[in-house]
Amino acid sequence: MTDLTLKIEDLKLGFKSWSGVNPVLHGISLHIRKGERVALVGESGSGKSVTARIVLGMLQELSASRISGNVLFEGEDVNAMRAKRHRALRGTRVSMIFQDPTSSLNPVYTIGRQFFEVLCRADPAISEKDARQKAASALDDVAIHEPERVLDSYAFQLSGGMNQRVMIAMALVNNPALLLADEPGTALDVTVQAQTLKLMSGLVEKHETAVLFISHNLGVVREFADRVYVIYKGNIVEQGPTDALFADPRHPYTKALLSAVPRISGGGIPDIAEDMDGFHDPLIAHEGYSERELLK
Amino acid sequence: MKKAFVILTRNPMSLAGLILVGTVIILAVFADFIAPFPEHRGAVVDFVNFNKPPNARNWFGTDLVGRDLFSRIIYAYRISLMLGVVVLAIAVPVGVSLGLMAGYMGRKTEFIVMRITDIFLSIPPLVLAMSVMGLLKPTLTNGMIAVTVMWWPWYTRLIYNITRSERQEGYVLAAEVLGASKLHIMFREILPNCVPSILTKMTLDFGFVILIASSLSFLGLGVQPPTPDLGSMVAEGARYLPDSWWLTVFPGLAILVVVFGFNLIGDALREILGVDE
């Protein structure tokens, strides 16, 4: 299949320590097609973020990591790449946005300067003037009304929501094939988060960027994703289209996760033990949404 | 930068420091025009006016061979300042680069660099400088080498600690994700964020370098006569205390003025730039 942006097959990850190898991922499989928005949902420590790091080739460089399985990015095996190739892909074909936008921007450079460096990644010969123009139009795309002023500002002079939009603009300015969004906007308040997600959603549609959306926020996932993978302790436990999964959660862990969402109508958060019966049940895929069926 | 300078002149303490340091720098740079007896920096003998207390002709008095102390102190400043500049110009880049490497790369680099730093830091600074001077001939150049050798580990340790905490910051991760090279991240991303600390420490250290260099020449291990040096001037005069008090008091005060001045500026910078140690 040519329109497969990312395909992960039976990915296992462990970290070597004094007492042996600590397994982190137990063989997960997922894929994202061009322009598709896929969410990876799970609790803290379930292995969401390390998956993103593997896609970026950042864990392969660690001598303590033990990785097996296939990670294919546009048909190219990420695990087999050299570090130099990883770096060449980052920022140009794959980009990432983070939880806390303000700390993701270097405090000593202006936004414009940082844009320039990002653009240089894709086109080393770009002139400062062209870069500025491109940056301004990218900021315009994320509904920033005074791009010129923002370009001359430092990150601490802008609000968190503005920085988030700047980050999104920066992540998409080189037209990457894949955007990894690691709990974007968790550090922001809910209304701003909703607003920026809407923007991001529109932009990735326009650019036909595939998105791996990593989150523990089910409300956000429901708004944003086309398909959902639920990950628990290094295993994918349920997968399916967003609507079906939210309407009819089948895996005990997904059920527990959904019932743990605080509701405006009240009612306390139910007691969920860290490790309840059935949490380790095998993967449940909704009809027509197993990896085999989707990859046909 | 300009703003910092304006703030420096507002605070009375740092203004005093700026005036002291500024005066010293002007004296040293224009020594040839300011010093009443420029030829007295060398081996000049004037037995008519030897060992005179301060008077209208010789403001700070004369030494045992009749040389004007005021002129000699001005020329000694020139050497002290040059020493400070040279020592920091070598120690800071070396120390900072090693600190960045150790802090950012971690693992083996970190282990090797930081253990070597520890070895240097575990030897009392003056003893280290003295042993270097003992191995080499006591000249100005070797004095600079000796002080440089004992000075770089402090910068390595400072920058190592800052880098370790900056490495956790989001912007470093963001740069890594963008595919920036290690060199780029160390020198273009992390280093600019260390500048306030480096600047503050350099200002404070400038005074201390002069102090240490003076201590070395006080012990006879630094600049050799007849070149004027504050430390050796104090050492020479100390034998004739308390009768010829001007021989030690004025060079001693000269050391105090420059060290004090740099310290006042350094303290003010630390406050302005929000550096905490």
Domain containing A45 equals 4-103+176-294
pLDDT in tens, B199-228: 888 888 888 888 888 888 888 777 777 778
Q: Could you tell me how far CA A213 lies from the centroid of its own chain?
A: 4
Of the pLDDT bands very low, low, confident and very high (cuts 50, 70, 90), residue B176 is: confident
- For B177, nearest residue in chain A (alpha carbons): A90
Residue A158 located in a structural domain: no
CA distance A234 to A46: 6
**B52 has a pLDDT exceeding 80:** no
Residue A205 located in a structural domain: yes
> What domains are there in chain B, each with its CATH number?
2-36+59-273 (1.10.3720.10)
Residue A45 located in a structural domain: yes
**A224 has a pLDDT exceeding 50:** yes
Residue A263 located in a structural domain: yes
Specify the amino acid at residue A83: A
Q: How far is CA B243 from CA B53, B70, B181, B239, in A?
A: 10, 19, 66, 10
**A12 has a pLDDT exceeding 80:** yes
Could you give the percent of chain A with pLDDT greater than 90?
0
The residues, ordered by sequence, that sit 6+ positions from A198 with a Cβ below 8 Å of its Cβ are none
pLDDT average, residue stretch B93-117: 90
Residue A59 located in a structural domain: yes
A288 burial via Cβ count (<10 Å: 0-12, 13-18, 19+): exposed
Specify the amino acid at residue B22: G
- Whether chain A has a CB inside 8 Å of the CB on B181: the answer is yes
What is the average pLDDT value for chain A, to the nearest integer? 82
Number of domains forming the structure of chain A = 1
| Positions of E strands within A74-201 | 76-77, 94-97, 178-182
CATH code (residue A74): 3.40.50.300
Which pLDDT score is estimated for A1?
A: 47
Length of chain B (residues)? 277
Which pLDDT score is estimated for B277?
A: 53
What is the average pLDDT value for chain B, to the nearest integer? 84
Residue A10 located in a structural domain: yes
SS3 content of chain A, % helix, strand, coil (to 5): 35, 25, 40
- For B105, nearest residue in chain A (alpha carbons): A62
Higher-scoring residue by pLDDT: B140, B75: B75
Going by the DSSP 8-state scheme, the letter that residue A237 receives in this structure is E
- Whether chain A has a CB inside 8 Å of the CB on B170: the answer is yes
Q: Name every residue in A having a CB less than 8 A away from some CB of B.
A: 56, 58, 63, 86-92, 95-96, 98-100, 102-109, 117-118, 121, 167
Which pLDDT score is estimated for A21?
A: 85
Residue A229 located in a structural domain: yes
Give the number of A-B residue pairs with CB atoms closer than 8 Å: 56
pLDDT average, residue stretch A165-189: 82
Residue A138 located in a structural domain: no
pTM: 0.77
**B93 has a pLDDT exceeding 90:** yes
- For A275, the 3-state DSSP assignment is coil
Of the pLDDT bands very low, low, confident and very high (cuts 50, 70, 90), residue A2 is: low
Interface test with B, best of A85, A92, A104 (most B CBs within 10 A): A104
Which pLDDT score is estimated for A25?
A: 87
CA distance B35 to B40: 9
CA distance A51 to A67: 11
The residues, ordered by sequence, that sit 6+ positions from B274 with a Cβ below 8 Å of its Cβ are B196
The sheet carrying A76-77 orders its strands as A20-33, A4-17, A65-73, A76-77
Of the pLDDT bands very low, low, confident and very high (cuts 50, 70, 90), residue A274 is: low
pLDDT in tens, A13-31: 888 888 888 888 888 888 8
Judge: B171–A91 Cβ closer than 8 Å, yes or no. Answer: no
Higher-scoring residue by pLDDT: B195, B275: B195
- For B192, nearest residue in chain A (alpha carbons): A108
Token reading at A77: 């095996």
Which pLDDT score is estimated for B142?
A: 80
Token reading at A76: 């190219």
Of the pLDDT bands very low, low, confident and very high (cuts 50, 70, 90), residue B92 is: very high
Place of tokens 């050799």: B224
Judge: B177–A58 Cβ closer than 8 Å, yes or no. Answer: yes
pLDDT in tens, A57-95: 888 777 788 888 888 888 888 888 887 888 888 878 888
pLDDT average, residue stretch A126-144: 84
